[in-house]
Structure 1
Amino acid sequence: MSRFTLVGTALSLVLAIGSSACGRHSETAVVADHLRQLVDRPAVLDEAENRLTARCMNQAGMTYPQVPAPHDDRPMVGLLRAAAPLRAETVREHGYPDRWMTRDRIPEKGPVETHADSLPPDVRERFHHLLGGEGGNDVRVALPGNFEVAASSSGCVGGARRQLYGSVENYLTVYYLPELVQRRASAADEDPDVRLAYAAFARCMAGEGYRTATPAAAVALATTYYPGGRQRAGADEKKLALADAGCQTEARLRERLAAAVDRLARRWLADNEAAVSKAHGLLRAALVEAKTAVNRR
């Protein structure tokens, strides 16, 4: 074999490997986008489930309240959702977000529970029976990592999910797979670089006069300023929140935490691409059904 033939063969091999790597990278990027869509699940799915549930209840002679679709205001950062960063210009005027300062309050009842409580006891019992059925959580699904979830297949809620997703198993897969990877990403706090970032944050806060090792500890400290409950942010809270925002920026805490979360999410994704692709297919099919259900009068 001539030297030119050897060079040509080697070049062809390099190009083939490069093409394969490029194809693999493209395929991984597509699956990553599928995961992002699952995490950022369109609100039309919840809207359609509520409408289908309401129609079922109405057909049984029961009134059903309007239920707004849940809203997750955490922004998408990479593949997952993350808390929005504190901004100095906001906390200087308003302190911490209100919801951070009322986390220990008993959650208010939603529209379904409130409506059920307004019914006479016998009607209320029938309402709950029609809504949830009587089979209990009879459908179980094992997701990656032996993460098991369950739900009922009966009642108006179960019927709505079967119609929308094709089965309650499909609903559980689409709904909980993103939750699974989001939980996996919570281990980012143990990442060595994130630990260094927290240490830098703690030193910065100590320099401002606060012994708070994490942003969560700073918020917890702020809640102690209001023994009788917080109505609006006071001067001490605003001062603390401003120091918190500044120290997070100085330590580059959010950026370093986001990078660690992305590393964990991508490792999980590499091990579970088939599960993500399957769930994304179920999501797309459910979206078609959801648009039909929402547009139907």
Structure 2
Amino acid sequence: MTLPHALNGLGDIAADYDILLCDVWGVIHDGRESWPAACDALSRFNRDHGHVVLISNSPRPASDVVAQLDRLGAPRESWRAFVTSGDATRMVLAKRAPGPVWMIGPDRDWPLYEGLGLVTARDASDAAFISVTGPVDDETETPEDYRERLSAGVARDLELICANPDRVVQRGDKLIYCGGALADLYESLGGRVTMAGKPFGPIYELAMAEGQRLLGRPVDRSRVLCIGDGVVTDVLGANRQALDCLFVAQGIHGDAARGPDGRLDAGRAADLLKAETTYARYATLDLMW
């Protein structure tokens, strides 16, 4: 088993890269506040080395998520472009208009559907397909709350489009379920699932297009670094794209990769990666310069 190289900070390797494809939730904020050290590291990279493209599994379009970053205090100079799973998923949804579509998710995610010409279905009984952004109430609901309703979709062989492949994210000191957890349940019931966010290709195509726009030339993929805390999303996505990866080993994993001395234990970080048959070139507990 190859161990990831433990970094003191992003500054150790910044000169090796032109583009950072950086995850958002769990790397630069926890849903309640932004993390100054992480934001500063990205700002310094933007200023002295290259360009940061935020790449998020948020089910909303990037234009709708920017306001959330502003509220959390993430400075605009910490990123140059922003793509989301919502952006990639809108292209998938548009091909299936007018539906009807059974939409599952909180009201805040409805910008995902704006301007796509989709007709809303009440439930599985009158839907042509299902679109999931997450639980309606992610503070209290679990995937099991949807078992019976999703089983009805499987019985009708409805395709489920998941706009947020994340299984869980950290909100403050709490882990909450995301759309990927509902998609996992649907697949376990025998249903068909389509996703465009990390770790799948469409969102990386959007991100690379932004990188090329920022550089003004084709992107050298050997000089692209993916940063994230999600093993089955960020790290697996980087592996599938044959891109270098910096694994932020704290995030949703808590202290699982922390050694007795309080620092990153590369072996423990590797165990988290090995569980999903993934590999990261670098690892750190938290993103910092």
Structure with bigger strand share is 2
Q: Report the TM-score when normalising by structure 2.
A: 0.28
Structure with bigger helix share is 1
Find the structure with the greater CA-based Rg. Answer: 1
